[in-house]
């Protein structure tokens, strides 16, 4: 069942700006997705977007009451895919999970890419992990209408598989 239309009205999604950097980083660290010392690739992606160097890459933030950043997402085209976009990062404030920030971000990504048409985007994928810590994420993608498409064994380490979710944008 796709519940993606059910999103609280108090959440707004906009393009990320430089002033959001620390809050976006805090989402990645606060959710245990990266250790602070392993943030190099993440920071390169974020800074490349902000400087305009990574053309076409998009970072979004979901803001709640008072403009507080409650979630963030990063989506970019897959360099070797045919109009395939990858949701490389998605996180909601750990103290405010399941209040709609993640859904608002995914819905915005999908609507924007669909509106740009199939010349730009055909497929949206997202890669997550097989461990118990990511069970919520796996349930989230399944509940947002993604198909559980593929598994790459041991990708993230011994016993830690990559799970790829897939959704058509056309
Ligand atoms: C996954 C994540 C981004 C979802 O964002 P969110 O704002 O918490 O999700 P929403 O409030 O939009 O959830 C919508 C629906 O997704 C499903 N869902 C979300 N989190 C879930 C969980 N922990 N367990 C089961 N279902 C879940 C539910 O169907 C939920 O609807 P409901 O609460 O009405 O039942 C967020 O939980 C998160 O930041 N997790 C940690 C980081 C992470 O795993 N990111 C993804 C890495 S690939």
Render pLDDT for 1-57 as a digit per residue (tens, 0 to 9). 556 555 556 999 999 999 999 999 999 999 999 999 999 999 999 999 999 999 999
pLDDT of residue 2: 58
Q: How far is residue 27's CA from residue 23's CA, in Å, rounded to a whole number?
A: 6
142: Cβ contacts below 8 Å, ≥ 6 apart: 148, 165
Closest CA to 83 of 168, 8, 7: 168
CA nearest ligand 1 atom 22, residue: 136
- Within 6 A (CB) of ligand 1 lie 31, 33, 71, 90-92, 97-103, 126, 128, 134, 136-137, 139-140, 143
**CA 51 to centroid of ligand 1, rounded, Å:** 30
161: Cβ contacts below 8 Å, ≥ 6 apart: 129, 130, 151, 152, 153, 154, 155
**What mean pLDDT comes out for the span 136-153?**
98
**What mean pLDDT comes out for the span 86-100?**
97
Q: Which pLDDT band, with edges at 50, 70 and 90, does 121 fall under? A: very high
Mean pLDDT, rounded, of the chain: 95
Closest CA to 72 of 158, 143, 115, 11: 11
pLDDT of residue 9: 62
Tell me the pTM: 0.94
Q: How far is residue 72's CA from residue 62's CA, in Å, rounded to a whole number?
A: 6
pLDDT of residue 8: 55
Structure-block tokens of residue 58? 């998009």
Please report the beta strands in 6-140, taking only residues with DSSP state E, as ranges in sequence order. Answer: 12-15, 58-63, 69-77, 84-92, 123-129
Atom of ligand 1 nearest to the CA of 139: 26
**What mean pLDDT comes out for the span 73-92?**
98
């Amino acid at each position: 069942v796709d519940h993606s239309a059910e999103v609280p009205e108090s959440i707004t999604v906009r393009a990320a700006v430089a002033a959001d950097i620390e809050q976006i980083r805090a989402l990645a660290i606060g959710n245990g997705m990266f250790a602070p010392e392993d943030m190099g690739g993440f920071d390169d992606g974020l800074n490349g977007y902000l400087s305009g160097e990574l053309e076409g890459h998009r970072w979004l933030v979901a803001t709640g009451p008072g403009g507080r950043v409650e979630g963030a997402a990063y989506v970019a085209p897959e360099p070797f895919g045919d109009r395939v976009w990858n949701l490389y990062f998605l996180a909601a404030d750990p103290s405010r999970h399941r209040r709609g920030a993640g859904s608002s971000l995914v819905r915005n990504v999908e609507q924007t890419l669909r509106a740009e048409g199939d010349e730009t985007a055909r497929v949206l994928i997202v890669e997550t992990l097989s461990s118990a810590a990511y069970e919520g994420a796996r349930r989230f993608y399944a509940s947002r209408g993604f198909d559980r498409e593929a598994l790459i064994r041991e990708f993230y380490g011994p016993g830690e598989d990559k799970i790829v979710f897939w959704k058509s944008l056309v």
